[in-house]
Structure 1
């Protein structure tokens, strides 16, 4: 019992630790989790999943994958398909059969597998699971359309790949019982239809019960979780491996009902999914038997090359031929196809079943599946960013600032940010208030930033910071609270007091971080605008000299934003004071008479789009 507790703690530490290191370094999280599992498992023997968990390992992994797929289905917005130009339909209806055929040919002629095993393994190879695709997309700056296509393909194809393997296995198993291929296929398609209907029915039931108060708030997340597990198990009882399809349909249906009850569940399911993905990936990596790797032949290496450079690109390019997807995006989609947890789990399951049917390639499939996972993770994880940049299909990548509220001060802030080369968009519900920004060529968004349509009309991926600057402090707090889960609580800021004893003041938990260390409010910045305060920028050459000059600034102004050499943004607030280093640029808000004395250059005028002079000793 003590050893099992140690293993569980170690799995959590390695999985979440790998995610944290990936966040800090920019390295692919899936690659780090793979390495962590290999070190803790085959290399050191600290984790032996099959011995530690015994018969519980397979059902535990299966349930975890079911929850992961359900979470992925919840994130699939059907309205995204309108922007995919039919690519997802093509990749499913054309790409899956085509990839299955090409993969089977590669398995037989290149890897040397016998035809039945080659066909079964090729069916599994059509998956590009969300356990690996979503972390890659989260850490990259791929443009919105290829990002949506890759996400949809990964989540939709996961259960389809499992069904392809089930179809092949059932045909092989029933070959000796006298059943024809058509009969086997019809029965499996019927089971898949039942699974899809079951998932949809459970989603509709939840969609009816939750808004009507049949489930108390504190039980909604547990009820949904138990419903997912129950649906998965019930569907698998009807036909093995159809549970993945059922929970995927359930997630997509529930996620597109726009239930207010799901808002509180989303954070819970995202946290759970991160834990499950990390834990399952570490466990499966640790379960790899190094002895099995000795079966790896040179022709398997050629098979990996064929899979990466021939099968996947040909599948995507042929499927999207004649579509409206630009060829640059097709090339990116054709290259990115990492495999992960679902493929390993399904392959391991069917490897045992193939051995029972008398096929001797079961152990070979395990080694080959891990080789495919490792090679695709490394190849795609480390190249998705550079390749997207090379093809020019990248989004701004979270280096911009979204300013909510069009005022005289927010327009001055936008001018200063643009002068520093930072992308900025001003949002407001009033077309008239946005007129000055439009006249100066500042990007604007006209509409309610809190509306559901905003996600479709405004690509939030391009923003790394949000600044709420409207005249309503409570509305600013509401905006920050709404976008904190997506942008991060450290990246949403508002004008307002940093501290105070006024009982009418909103609690800190409901507010964004205060802009400026002194927490200037809306009236404060408006008064300073009238008094001639302006924005200035300083390029840091000597940190000590800048610190000396900054000490002479007024207490209620001073540094506002730090632009680092790598383009990342940090804001000065009452809660955090980033430390500038050589080559960084600091944006300040100061009285105009302090600028010349310090050697800084004002960025207030609309035509001043050049950077500030460097501070010298």
Structure 2
């Protein structure tokens, strides 16, 4: 019963730790490791494994190893699914240098640091140096989403973080088999043959599996509901076969398989990616909890100052030197190279590989290598140290180098009709990053002439979404005339925006009875208020309503605003004093307050409360009144504008 409780606690703690990281902004893997170490204070997985195997510690290790290996395979497969070949046009040269020359320099630097700082023998130092070559894609990904550096830097780090993992794992295997097991200096010919065979097996099985699965899915040999599990099963099978033929070549196989699938053009893989992302999140949580629970705090304390010295050497000496030397003459400028040199956290692959080798050396009593019992502990110390340092320093470093988006409050808007352009213009004037997309070139041209950043593209096109520059943009508003297109656009953009930041105009047919209505689950967060459909807002604008930005103060409150413009005024959003944006929705109605600037669509004729005279000349507003206005269209002007926009953009 205790083992059952432990098995149930692992995923529960894994999810809880990642939720806590999301709420606090701390790196998730750091929180996971802390939860795992805390669990290890009360229960030890090794004790359960020994109990299951009747005291046979070797059998317990043999049981843990395949579970860890298969979990890492799933994580690497999902990583491969995120790599687009098109990104290499910007980052290909730099990424290649980092995973070849940079990896070799890191290996040498890590080994030297481990030898002189930890006083390890050269054999064990070389093994630890190879393990620490890998960075952490599971850590780099969340950090990149948090920091939001330039697209070229983000692409370079993502490719390095994923591709370097199988390279580092293979390098560690070569060191383990050629140096530790043979107790001799490796022969160049033997190493080259092993490396070549591993690469051939990994590449051949990965490409073959990708071609086979592509043909099976494009010819409809597999039903849709089995696509995800079929891809997962094939990845695990190929991983096991590949590892059987060449040790650790399985990581190459699953990475290549993922890259193949995500870059083929015959069918959509987003539903497969979604399954793998959910599974990866669960597995990362479980792995770090289990592996973290095996770490003994007393062992970490026994390493002491040398362990801290190793972390500092890796962060401030080895990583910068390997990056600057490998990127000499690369397209990246000095600021970009400096940020890359300042981001190399170790993650799940380093933890898993070190644990596997530690388990292997425990079962080999003939090795007798001093310090081998500290291999996994040192690796976990490096993971904790690098995640903590880079997690706290990445954001300030990116801002100092002027590589980070200072805000994610910007808005991507699908649709570019006249009233949408007016709304976007008010946001732009409020220093909110804006991007309009529409397939109607006439509307996009008008937006550009008004100074609004706009692209004539189809937001439903996957390749277009990948190429859009979304720096500083964290929200998506679907505001086209077509409800179905709005819903589809939101569903397609879920991979890039959190569901809480997906908005659309309320459905015209939402409340229809029978089969003509559209169901609530197809919608994002509904904008502005009940009944404010595209048709309603467009008609108000055509009748002369205009957009107005109004600063609320203690002397001019929201009640004063309503007294002037009436309840018919449509409050769309509010700009907060900290430059953030609060959007008015049906599920969370906006309650404007002093200090905010509200953007609203108001009638051309204010409510007759004594303020009407003040707006007699809208191009010269009363300087004592805290409002910003644009010259308001007359009904005839609005009709003319509408006529020029007559081509509805139903496919954006």
Do both proteins adopt the same fold according to a TM-score greater than 0.5, normalized to the shorter chain?
A: yes
Per the alignment, residue 44 of structure 2 pairs with 48
Q: Which runs of 5+ in 1 are unaligned?
A: none
Per the alignment, residue 207 of structure 2 pairs with 200
Distance in 2 between the 1:61 and 1:606 partners?
69
- Structure 1 residues 598 and 235: alpha-carbon distance in aligned structure 2, compared to 1, 3 A threshold: farther
1:275-314 alpha-carbon deviations (Å, 9 max, x no partner): 1112212222222112312331433322221111000000
Q: TM-score, normalised by structure 1?
A: 0.91
- Structure 1 residues 540 and 289: alpha-carbon distance in aligned structure 2, compared to 1, 3 A threshold: farther
Aligned 8 A contact 2:92 2:156 in 1:
no
Secondary structure, counterpart of 1:453 in structure 2: helix
- Structure 1 residues 408 and 434: alpha-carbon distance in aligned structure 2, compared to 1, 3 A threshold: same
Instruction: Return the offset for 1:508.
Output: 2.4
Establish whether residue 438 from structure 1 lines up as the match of residue 448 from structure 2: yes
The within-5 A match list for 1:422-437 is 422-437=432-447
Secondary structure, counterpart of 2:496 in structure 1: helix
- Highest CA radius of gyration, 1 or 2? 2
**Residue range with higher mean Cα deviation, 406-415 or 494-503:** 494-503
Per the alignment, residue 518 of structure 1 pairs with 530
Distance in 2 between the 1:548 and 1:122 partners?
68
Instruction: Return the offset for 1:545.
Output: 5.2
1:474 to 484, 492, 502: 484
**Residue range with higher mean Cα deviation, 508-517 or 142-151:** 508-517
Distance in 1 between the 2:266 and 2:36 partners?
38
Per the alignment, residue 24 of structure 1 pairs with 23
- Structure 1 residues 585 and 33: alpha-carbon distance in aligned structure 2, compared to 1, 3 A threshold: farther
Distance in 1 between the 2:619 and 2:66 partners?
63
Instruction: Return the offset for 1:431.
Output: 2.0
Instruction: Return the offset for 1:359.
Output: 0.7
Per the alignment, residue 509 of structure 1 pairs with 521
- Structure 1 residues 97 and 538: alpha-carbon distance in aligned structure 2, compared to 1, 3 A threshold: same
Distance in 2 between the 1:595 and 1:114 partners?
85
- Structure 1 residues 23 and 539: alpha-carbon distance in aligned structure 2, compared to 1, 3 A threshold: farther
Equivalent residue pairs, number: 608
Secondary structure, counterpart of 1:484 in structure 2: coil
Distance in 1 between the 2:186 and 2:557 partners?
84
1:317 to 317, 320, 324: 324
Distance in 2 between the 1:334 and 1:4 partners?
43
**Residue range with higher mean Cα deviation, 456-465 or 302-311:** 456-465
Establish whether residue 291 from structure 1 lines up as the match of residue 298 from structure 2: yes
Secondary structure, counterpart of 1:486 in structure 2: coil
Aligned 8 A contact 1:440 1:606 in 2:
no
Secondary structure, counterpart of 2:598 in structure 1: strand
- Structure 1 residues 362 and 417: alpha-carbon distance in aligned structure 2, compared to 1, 3 A threshold: same
Distance in 2 between the 1:137 and 1:296 partners?
31
Instruction: Return the offset for 1:468.
Output: 2.0
1:558 to 567, 570, 575: 570
Establish whether residue 33 from structure 1 lines up as the match of residue 44 from structure 2: no
Instruction: Return the offset for 1:156.
Output: 0.3
Q: TM-score, normalised by structure 2?
A: 0.86
1:498-552 alpha-carbon deviations (Å, 9 max, x no partner): 7422543332222333221124222211211123322334445569953686599
Aligned 8 A contact 1:405 1:428 in 2:
yes
Distance in 1 between the 2:422 and 2:459 partners?
21
Aligned 8 A contact 1:410 1:469 in 2:
yes
CA RMSD of the aligned region, Å?
A: 3.0
Aligned 8 A contact 1:516 1:557 in 2:
no
Per the alignment, residue 169 of structure 1 pairs with 176
2:344 to 315, 325, 337: 337
Per the alignment, residue 449 of structure 1 pairs with 459
Instruction: Return the offset for 1:9.
Output: 3.3
Instruction: Return the offset for 1:406.
Output: 1.4
- Structure 1 residues 562 and 277: alpha-carbon distance in aligned structure 2, compared to 1, 3 A threshold: farther
Per the alignment, residue 60 of structure 1 pairs with 67
Distance in 2 between the 1:226 and 1:255 partners?
17
Instruction: Return the offset for 1:566.
Output: 4.1
Per the alignment, residue 412 of structure 2 pairs with 402
- Structure 1 residues 178 and 444: alpha-carbon distance in aligned structure 2, compared to 1, 3 A threshold: closer
Aligned 8 A contact 1:558 1:589 in 2:
yes
Instruction: Return the offset for 1:570.
Output: 3.5
Establish whether residue 383 from structure 1 lines up as the match of residue 402 from structure 2: no
The within-5 A match list for 1:182-261 is 182-261=189-268
Instruction: Return the offset for 1:456.
Output: 4.0
- Structure 1 residues 8 and 597: alpha-carbon distance in aligned structure 2, compared to 1, 3 A threshold: farther
Aligned 8 A contact 1:37 1:283 in 2:
yes
Instruction: Return the offset for 1:467.
Output: 1.8
- Structure 1 residues 371 and 612: alpha-carbon distance in aligned structure 2, compared to 1, 3 A threshold: farther
Distance in 1 between the 2:473 and 2:46 partners?
44
Instruction: Return the offset for 1:146.
Output: 1.0
Distance in 2 between the 1:611 and 1:64 partners?
65
Distance in 2 between the 1:149 and 1:164 partners?
21
- Structure 1 residues 514 and 275: alpha-carbon distance in aligned structure 2, compared to 1, 3 A threshold: same
Per the alignment, residue 533 of structure 1 pairs with 545
Instruction: Return the offset for 1:565.
Output: 4.2
Instruction: Return the offset for 1:428.
Output: 1.4
Instruction: Return the offset for 1:176.
Output: 6.1
Aligned 8 A contact 2:198 2:247 in 1:
no
Instruction: Return the offset for 1:348.
Output: 2.0
1:613 to 592, 604, 626: 626
- Structure 1 residues 472 and 598: alpha-carbon distance in aligned structure 2, compared to 1, 3 A threshold: farther
- Structure 1 residues 3 and 139: alpha-carbon distance in aligned structure 2, compared to 1, 3 A threshold: farther
Establish whether residue 89 from structure 1 lines up as the match of residue 100 from structure 2: no
Instruction: Return the offset for 1:241.
Output: 1.9
**Residue range with higher mean Cα deviation, 49-58 or 283-292:** 49-58
Establish whether residue 569 from structure 1 lines up as the match of residue 569 from structure 2: no
Instruction: Return the offset for 1:272.
Output: 1.2
Distance in 1 between the 2:574 and 2:293 partners?
42
1:542-597 alpha-carbon deviations (Å, 9 max, x no partner): 69953686599766653222334444433222233255566444332232444896
